[in-house]
Structure 1
Amino acid sequence: MVDNLRVVFRVDASLEIGSGHVMRCLTLAAALAEKGARCTFVMRELPGSLAVMVGGRGHEVRMLPEREAPNSESLPGHAGWLRTDWETDAADTIAEIRDARPDWLVVDHYALDARWEQALADSAESLLVIDDLADRPHVCDVLLDQNLGRSQSDYDGLLPTDAGQLIGPRYALLRPEFAQKRARSLARRRSGDVKTILVSMGGVDSENVTGDVLRALDSVEELASCHVTVVMGGGSPHAEEISGLVQRMHLRARVMVNVGDMASLMSDADLAIGAAGGTAWERCCLGLPSLLIVMAANQKPGTDALDRAGAALAIGDRRHISKTLAGAVGSLLDPVELRAMSDRAASLCDGEGVRRVVAQMLGES
């Protein structure tokens, strides 16, 4: 146990950003809290912020005020996600955390870079940056990038020379229940049957890719005896529409919202259809064969890496689902191929990443 350890997370969720950044920070915060740390989340007031969920997990939440958003079309990369300029965000964050200098400031935000981090340098003892893109400089003590295919050399010239790097799925931030259910999940995959399909397109799915997936699945005759479980976030704007679609499908299907035990659902599924975000590592940990759909441009490198490793099958972007999904599903109805994909996926991630990251932060061996 550590006494009086203070950790502040600067992270956002919204209908545009999605929920993945907040969810993986919650996983890290829970592991730190078990060690005795006090965690505070600093978040911008945005539609779909997940602030209520964060507070419900027992963490302090400090909301940054809404600001007049700049013209996002004139901003580079993901800068528009911030809904203000970086200088204003830095000043707002400093004002929120100046009363308690944290031991660690954890930043998980594609719109923030070395300029923001330098402005916050005197506000925390140490800085951990969580990134997936390797597309901008950082001033941090530790950089975490959990993506397959990433190497330390991708950050050459983007980090201080003495910054620690935690690179690859070995450090994927998964909740402990995934490691706990890993052995059982891998054991039940030896049959190679496909009886249950899990569809999960993220916590928001603002463009209703879930609906396109379900319509495509419903047209595959080989799946007539399968059961489909659809998982959606409470902030999804299409939850009601999907519930109606499920009732009209030929396939047996159900919708589950705000699922608390994804590890059990994944363990009991034979095939998953989803995006290559953080849930990709949950599926790998449990050896769950997957069809991957690119939901956003920043997911394509991860999708391609998993496809090359044979740990999942990429079926292109969301616009082509009706043409590609049926054939992709058919290719995985072969028990030999399904078992082989399960083995390759499981070899990439053991579910112990959060433990390794916490050990790094606490200076443990």
Structure 2
Amino acid sequence: MCAKRRVVFRADGNARIGLGHVVRSLALADVLREHFDLAFAIQRPTTEVADMVLKVCGRLLPLPQTDDLRADADAFCGELQPGDVVVLDGYRFDAAYQKACRDDGHRFLVCIDDLQSVHMYADAVINHGGGIDAAAYEMEPYTRLFLGPEYALLRRPFMDIDPGLRQFANLNQFFVCMGGADPLNLSRLALDALARVPEVSHVIVVTGSANPFREELEALLPDFPFTGQVLHNLDALAMCRAMQSCGSAIVPASSVAIEACAVGMRIFAGYFADNQKPFANYLASRGLANPLGELTHATAAGLAARIRTAPDSARMVARQQTIFGGRQRHNLFSIFKLWI
């Protein structure tokens, strides 16, 4: 039997920068795990993040903590072998880093991107955002682009949802998740906003492994006029079930919003990072989410007003299922099929 080709992922995640890159890289890894050997390189992972990685990938490659991109590239490339497929997901990985990883064609390179800000030397680029202008990419003649929600990096339970079996929950039950870290404690802002909406009956707040405000949120919940619970560090299946138990969601325009679209919910989406703004605009323009704008400048009263005046969700959910309820697993695997 021939040995499987190795795919090596490179992404970082912690309380400061969040876990988005790690989560979506692991979603892709899960698509590939039956056909490739998988390794994951990350700077100084916490125990929780290491556990996340090892649930999907066979090997963890811890890298030294450094802000020196050249030193990081040297350390990472020292772990690579000829013939590896390398997957980069992170905003620091510039053109020089890409070239070092590709090693003049002795390795294959895939970049997960949503900024379109650097020249691409990758063999393939995945950008699962909506409304992407392919012409905005600077790239090599051999680079192939895989753009749009049909390549959404959904975790397995969200890919396996059967829209025909969806049982819609009460719209007055809200799911709140502001990513794996939520360094600005936007979850508290969402709770304060929902307290100003009398119809809200129950709220589930999900905090990630890097969230420093979990205990504060748990202590505050009894003071709100609705029932609620804080769920911490959920795996993909538990996250999917938590979403399915609610009819509405307050989320950032990130991978969390994509998963909420796959479930089919009345979504309220804002942004707190520049890279989230284009996707927030796409969700709003396509009627896939109600816009909340820039969350860092939002007030609880302002968010509450938007929630109270939101339209009915039936058309929104139908649009979500048309765009996100498709063939993502097949499409993502097809990118790598030639390298088996």
* TM-score, structure 2 normalization: 0.92
Change (3 A) 1:4 1:193: closer
1:87 aligns with 2:70: yes
User: How many angstroms does 1:328 deviate by?
Assistant: 1.6
Cα distance between partner residues in 2 of 1:154 and 1:287: 31
Separation (CA, whole Å) in 1 of partners of 2:159 and 2:63:
35
Q: What is the Cα deviation at residue 24 of structure 1?
A: 1.0
| 1:171 paired residue number | 151
State the 1:362 CA deviation: 1.3
Aligned to 2:110: 128
- State the one-letter code of the partner of 1:322: A
Q: Which residue pairs with 2:97 in the alignment? A: 116
Q: Is residue 226 of structure 2 the alignment partner of residue 251 of structure 1?
A: yes
Residue equivalent to 1:320: 298
Match of 1:221 in 2: 198
**Mapped partners of 1:294, 1:204: distance in 2:** 14
Counting only pairs closer than 5 Å after superposition, residues 342-353 of structure 1 correspond to structure 2 as 342-350=317-325, 352-353=327-328
Post-superposition Cα deviations, 1:146-175, rounded to whole Å, max 9, x if no partner, equal: 0011132121xx111221110000000112
62, 81, 85: which one aligns with 1:104: 85
**Alignment partner of 2:161: what SS?**
helix
Paired residue type of 2:324: C
Q: How does 1:11-30 map to 2 (within 5 A)?
A: 11-30=11-30
Shift of 1:180: 2.2
Shift of 1:49: 8.1
Q: Is the 8 A contact 1:199 1:229 kept in 2?
A: yes
| Alignment match of 2:268 (pick from 270, 276, 291) | 291
Match of 2:142 in 1: 162
Partner of 1:200: 177
Within the alignment, does 1:240 sit opposite 2:218 as a pair?
A: no
CA contact (8 A) 1:182 1:286 kept: no
Instruction: Determine what percentage of the aligned residue pairs are the same residue.
Output: 29
Farther off after superposition, 162-171 or 288-297: 288-297
Aligned residue type for 1:302: F
Q: C-alpha separation between the residues in 2 aligned to 1:48 and 1:112? A: 24
What residue number does 1:329 align with? 307
Q: State the 1:265 CA deviation.
A: 1.8
> How many angstroms does 1:193 deviate by?
4.6
Per the alignment, residue 80 of structure 1 pairs with none
> Equivalents in 2 of 1:321, 1:356: separation in Å?
40
Query: Secondary structure of 2:323's match?
Result: coil
Tell me how far 1:48 sits from its aligned partner. Answer: 8.6
> Which residue of structure 1 aligns with residue 52 of structure 2?
53
Contact (CA 8 Å) 1:172, 1:351: kept in 2 or not?
Answer: no
Q: Which moved more, 1:241-250 or 1:353-362?
A: 353-362
Unpaired runs of at least 5, structure 1: 68-82
Q: Deviations over 1:168-219 (max 9, x none)?
A: 000001123213223256x434xx8513110011011011010111011112
Is residue 103–residue 126 contact of structure 1 (8 Å, CA) maintained in 2?
A: yes
What SS is found at the alignment partner of 1:188?
coil
Partner of 2:184, secondary structure, is: coil
